[in-house]
Structure formats: C-alpha cells, structure tokens
Amino acid sequence: MTNFFGPTKVGLAAALSLAVAGSAVAQSHYETAVFAGGCFWSMEHDMEPIPGVVSVVVGYSGGRAPNPTYEQVSSETTGYLESVKVTYDPQKISYTSLVQRYWHVIDPTDDGGAFCDRGSSYHSAIFVASPEQRRIAEASEAALKQGPLKGKPIATEIRDAMTFWPAETYHQHYPQKNPIQYAEYRLGCGKDRRLHDIWGPLALK
C-alpha cells in the first residue's frame, strides 16, 4: 500500500525543524541590558511595552553575596539594587534608544531611593556590560546634563555589570497578575506625577 502520509509527515517535520532553527537564530541576535530604577515592579511595567523589548525579568544586581532574597535586599545591608534585565531586539531598538527610554521612567536626581520607596536598594543605576554600553550610557548622561536636567545633580550611577539574580516568582509580572494592587501602589507612590514634573510630555516615552 502506498503511504500517502509519509512525505507529508516528513515535510511537516522539516518545516518545523526550520522554524525552530529560525527562532533560535533570531534569539541569538537578542541583546540584554540591566537597569535599576526603584521598584522593579514599576520598572518592568514601564519598560516591557517598549517596541523592540522582548522580555523583562525583575531581580537584583550590584551586590556580591549569592542568591539574594527579597527580604535580604530590602534590609538595605546587601548592596543589591532592585533591577530589571531587559532582553531586546537590536534590529528594532538600539541600546542608545533603550537608555533614553530608561531615563524617562525614573527620577535621575533622587539620591535617596525612588519616589515613595526610600533606601539604597531603590537607587537608580545603569549596569554596563561592555565598553560600548558604557560609552553610550555616559554620552546619554552628559546630554541630560546639558539639556533637560542642566544644573541639576544626577544621582544615577553608571556601574560595571555584576551578576543579575532573578527575583522570586511572585515578583515576576506582578502588575499583570495583581493589577488592582499595583495600580493602588503606583497611585499612592506618586510616580507618574513626579515623572511629568521632570519630563513633561517625554515622561514614559
């Protein structure tokens, strides 16, 4: 009996293999950036919708003790900052543009935390993983000092990248999983009001 399904199955398998390979190739072109900007829930909320951003993971960076927990970081004794690891497609958004968008979702002049969240774990920082990232971050900071933040001290640090530790599962995608609680937190924290005071129409853009 002629097997009418054999060639079709082979063809489907080949197509599936090519699709998987194509996806792997695409992912291999993705790049990552790590930022700290206060509450990592809000950083994820504000950076995930940026066109070209593939994913955002919340976590901790800047400290040295391995496997930090939220309780340890929030004790303000570990040196860790609440951070986000942003995976992006450089064919759709450049690192330069990503840094520019980052500035507009934080208050770079706050040296005591971020909005209603106070303490060293909420400080803002750009963790650079290469000389090129450092060059771009420093040039972007210099432009702020000559432009919209002229005459104001910038507290955001540009730091060498360190190990990024993902936060606990319940912190990942918190705004999507708990929209009411997050909306109440964000309103009470006054982040959007402060961003508009600093950036005007550029806030969140």
Cβ atoms within 10 Å, residue 97: 17
Phi first, then psi: give them for residue 48, nearest 5 degrees: -60, -35
Kindly indicate the confidence band of residue 26, based on its pLDDT and cuts at 50, 70 and 90.
low
| pLDDT per residue as tens digits for the range 43-68 | 999 999 999 999 999 999 999 999 99
Predicted local distance difference test score (pLDDT) of residue 201: 85
Burial, 79: exposed, middle or buried (Cβ in 10 Å; 0-12, 13-18, 19+)? middle
Q: What residues form DSSP beta bridges with 31?
A: 88
Statement: 29-202 belongs to CATH 3.30.1060.10: yes
- Residue 8 pLDDT > 70: no
Average pLDDT over residues 136-148: 96
Catalytic residues: 39
| CB distance 173 to 182 below 8 Å | no
Q: What residues form DSSP beta bridges with 118?
A: 113
Q: Model-level pTM?
A: 0.86
Kindly indicate the confidence band of residue 202, based on its pLDDT and cuts at 50, 70 and 90.
confident
Q: What is the C-alpha to C-alpha distance for residues 64 and 55, in angstroms, rounded to an integer?
A: 25
Beta strands in 38-177 (DSSP E): 53-61, 81-88, 113-114, 117-118, 124-128, 157-160, 165-166
Question: What are the sequence ranges of the domains in the chain?
Answer: 29-202
Residues, the chain: 205
Q: What is the C-alpha to C-alpha distance for residues 121 and 174, in angstroms, rounded to an integer?
A: 18
Q: What is the C-alpha to C-alpha distance for residues 26 and 24, in angstroms, rounded to an integer?
A: 5
| Percent of the chain whose predicted confidence (pLDDT) is above 70 | 86
Average pLDDT over residues 94-103: 98
Average pLDDT in the chain: 90
Average pLDDT over residues 24-44: 89
- Residue 181 pLDDT > 50: yes
